[in-house]
Structure 1
Amino acid sequence: MIRTLRERRVYANRFVTVYDDDVAFADDSRGRYLRIVESEGRPGVAMLASHAGRFAQVLTYRYPTRSWEWGIPRGFAAGTALFSAELELKEELGAAPDTLEAIGTVTPNSGLLASTVHLFHATYAELPGAPDDSREVADVRWLTAAELMAGVAAGEITDSFTQCALLSALARGIIGH
């Protein structure tokens, strides 16, 4: 186990707080550990949204990687994870889902990020219209589970939340093998 000896906040803005903590390792040797807390420690959300056997992907420009990326709708929590998931789906797909079920949690990079992201499966009886937030979402597509899996296998879908949600959905029988 690693013990925090002194918490040292070195940077903060409205999205992240960066710590460079003084720590003691299991053998009692001393060192430093970098830790990034996103969104004031509130959990994130990522949603595998489905309609008639197809799953939503949104095209978003990811500034850190300087690239366009297809992935599932996602965002930071604003209240409960369930409430946040509904808000993000309205923003990114244009409508609240008919059903919304928790399907797991992930820690995106537990060696550096102090974050937890709640995964959900959302279902739509009617195909949603256009995204409410066109600044964030450039396009929406609906793919079958087989097309999503093929995109992951081909290296075309690199979004980790999409991959984790697919695995959680597969493990829970939401999608077939």
Structure 2
Amino acid sequence: MTDQQSRRAARLAAYDRLREQRPQLFENPPGAAFEIVVDPVLQQQVADDSAAKLGRAGLPEENGDIGVVYADRYLLLVRDAVRFRDGGLGVYIRQMSPHEGTGAAVLPLLPDGRILLVSHFRHATRRWHWEIPRGFAEPGADGATTAAREVEEEVGAPAGEVVFLGALDTDTGAEVGGDEIYLAYLSQVPAERPAGATEEGIDQFVTVTPDEFTQMIRDGVLGDAFTLAAYAFALARGLWPKAA
């Protein structure tokens, strides 16, 4: 067996295990615009065609493989062979969590109606963002558990009541599943950041009034998608705090 054959076989074996573990991610509902193809012969054909196209573009042919093409503790990248509506074959790539569990973002609300925001340095954008706490799920954790944990880890205060606001499909073009958005009532803001917050890139807290929060949106200071979603959900559910 060649190196290419071994690599492709390993990626497809991981793909087949994922299909067994999470079959809902591979369903073809009636009328699906892109049908996932699992026939090994067709998968091989799609991989060959994709590798050839990439090679002509000066890109690594291995990027044309079908299956689980990347995996770590936080992320899986999966390339599916698909059949389009015109009958042609091609590929789509998807990003997903390596385990089942629900990520969450949580809007921390103080008794006087102020909202707590954290200043978080994000590697992807290489800059600081004002945002609400959020994080990946631990294996098997539901959204409420994740929300409470993130408040504890990023703010250093136990969440009181945790209220579900809504489910957010983060990126329907590339990402499988999404995250849940919660509101958490805090009794106070700790005087110091919790241990580990600095290592995560959190250097500062701020508490803002509802009016100040909306002004940050208008000024372009606050643009994090999870934070904006929490604002929209809270408004729609009548849970956004009233301005003083």
TM-score (norm 1): 0.93
- Asked if 1:173 is matched to 2:217, the reply is no
Aligned-pair distance for 1:39? 4.6
Letter in 2 for 1:57: L
2:125 corresponds in structure 1 to 65
1:95 aligns with 2:153: no
How many percent of aligned residue pairs carry the same amino acid? 29
In the other structure, the counterpart of 1:106 is 168
CA RMSD in angstroms comes to 1.6
Supply the AA of the counterpart residue of 1:61.
F
2:219 is aligned with 1:154: yes
Aligned partner of 1:19 in structure 2 is 78
Per the TM alignment, residue 148 of structure 1 is displaced from its structure 2 partner at its CA by: 1.3
Residue segments in structure 2 that go unaligned for 5+ positions in a row? 1-31, 39-65
Aligned residues: 177
Does the CA contact (< 8 Å) of 1:103 and 1:119 recur in 2? yes
Q: For residue 207 of structure 2, what is the aligned residue in structure 1?
A: 142
CA contact (8 A) 1:46 1:118 kept: yes
> Hey, what's the Cα distance between the residues in 2 that align with 1:115 and 1:61?
25
Counterpart for residue 164 of structure 1: 229
**TM-score, structure 2 normalization:** 0.68
Moved over 4 A (4+): none
Structure 1 position 108, deviation (Å): 0.9
In structure 2, how many angstroms separate the alpha carbons of the residues matched to 1:14 and 1:94? 24
Whose strand proportion is higher, 1 or 2? 1
Query: 1:40 aligns to what SS in structure 2?
Result: coil
Offset of residue 26 of structure 1: 3.2
Q: 1:10 Cα shift? A: 0.9
Equivalent position SS for 1:64? coil
Q: Which has the greater radius of gyration? A: 2
Contact persistence 2:168–2:180 (CA under 8 A): yes
Native 8 Å contact 1:24 1:31 kept in 2:
yes
Q: Offset of 1:129 from its aligned partner? A: 3.9
> Structure 1: any 5+ residue segments left out of the alignment?
none
CA deviations on 1:74-130 (whole Å, 9 max, x unpaired) are: 001121211111111001111111111001010111101113111001111233343
